Amino acid sequence: MSQDATLWFAFVLIGLATTLPRASFIVLGNRVSLPPVVQRALRYAPAAALAAIVAPDVLVVAGNFAPLNPKLAGIIAAVAAAALWRNPWLPFIAGMAVLLGLRALTGA
């Protein structure tokens, strides 16, 4: 098989691997239901995906693991503001204020 054909074959396989599981929920609809254990586990999928995206950006600075940095302090301030008050804007304001304040103080 040539290199171009191998590449296109890989594209098709990847496309099927991503499309078929998604399409199965639409095509099968209510005829098939997921077990309760799987349904409970899927409730955590959005939070896990968000954590997987955010955690490396917050904990890695210039390619090195840095658990104490302005980004992490900003996240902690935003989470604290969200937990204490129901104002939707306050976490953004608190997190950015802490992040920018610490960056100004440390020169980071």
For 65, phi then psi, to 5°, come to: -70, 120
Mean pLDDT, rounded, for 24-39: 84
Instruction: State what percent of residues in the chain have pLDDT above 70.
Output: 98
Amino acid (one-letter) located at 96 = M
* Band of pLDDT at residue 108, cut at 50, 70 and 90: low
In angstroms, rounded to a whole number, what is the distance separating the alpha carbons of residues 58 and 81?
Answer: 18
- In this predicted structure, the answer to whether residue 62 has a pLDDT above a threshold of 90 is no
More confident residue, 108 or 58: 58
In angstroms, rounded to a whole number, what is the distance separating the alpha carbons of residues 94 and 73?
Answer: 10
By three-state DSSP, how is residue 34 classified?
A: coil
When mean pLDDT is compared across 30-34, 51-55, 61-65, 75-79, the lowest value belongs to 30-34
pTM attached to this predicted model: 0.61
